[in-house]
Each structure stands twice: as C-alpha cells, then as structure tokens.
Amino acid sequence: MEILRPTPSIYQEGGESIDPIVGRKYELDDTTAARLIRYKFARAVDE
C-alpha cells in the first residue's frame, strides 16, 4: 500500500511501529492496511 497523506505512527499487530512517509510504499498486515485504506490515509497498489 502507498501512504497518501501525513499519518501518525502505525502500530502493527506484532507491536512494531512505523513512522510512515507520504508517497512511500509499505507492506503491512491486512488489518492495519484495511484500516488505513478505509480512512483514506493509504491506497492499495501492485508491487
């Protein structure tokens, strides 16, 4: 997924945190990715 706008730190299910950068692509767990996409912080992209 690709970050579309400034986002607070992301905490994944495993407890790891990421400080996302706008425009950068990340591989996140399904739950975290779905939440960010639903609230329009990110979009799904092909690798």
pLDDT score, position 8? 92
Q: What is the 3-state secondary structure (H, E, C) of 5-42?
A: CCCCCEECCCCCEECCCCCCECCCCHHHHHHHHHCCCE
pLDDT score, position 26? 95
pLDDT per position as a tens digit, 1-47: 999 999 999 998 888 899 999 999 999 999 999 999 999 999 999 87
pTM of the model: 0.83
The residue extents of the domains of the chain are: 2-43
pLDDT score, position 13? 81
